Amino acid sequence: MRGALQRGMPVLGICRGTQVLNVALGGTLHQHLPDILGHSGHRAGNGVFTRLPVHTASGTRLAELIGESADVPCYHHQAIDQVGEGLVVSAVDVDGVIEALELPGDTFVLAVQWHPEKSLDDLRLFKALVDAASGYAGRQSQAEPR
């Protein structure tokens, strides 16, 4: 993760990828969310996803991509506690659990606790990553000596 960030590579973290990004930048995790919340609403059972409404923070890249709220497929028992250096909270759920983080700036660095791959109705996050990766690849090829 640190290598990708140092190189300015686009990053889309999904579920544990959100946690990896946060910890890589000095953040911490709640190790078992049901102990904090008193319920296990972030996953319906062993291997069973649940859906949760999330609300995005105005002015974030995520809000630009998905709007002010979305109903997302979720399956996690850990969550962000202290946010890593430079990261911005870009979505929370109804319990106040951080569901998305991003790094402001030109480089595409976005991470969501949910599983966008489980809902092919909405491919906006993947399209944004592909667009950012294409731009990154173009810049890299222009920078190579000929």
Please give the pLDDT value at position 41: 53
Residues 15, 30, 42, 102: which is the catalytic one? 15
Please give the pLDDT value at position 44: 52
DSSP character at residue 83:
P
Please give the pLDDT value at position 144: 67
Residues 42, 76, 117, 144: which is the catalytic one? 117
Average pLDDT per 10 consecutive residues for the chain, totaling 146 residues: 93 95 96 67 61 95 95 84 97 93 96 89 89 91 70
Pick the CATH number of 34-130 from 3.40.630.30, 3.40.50.880, 2.130.10.10, 3.50.50.60: 3.40.50.880
Active site residue 76: no
Where in the chain are the domains?
34-130
Active site residue 117: yes
Active site residue 42: no
Residue of 112, 104, 99 lying closest to 14 (CA atoms)? 112
How far apart are alpha carbons 42 and 36 in whole angstroms? Answer: 12
Kindly compute the dihedral angle of the four CA atoms of residues 45, 46, 50, 54, in this order, to the nearest 10 degrees: 110
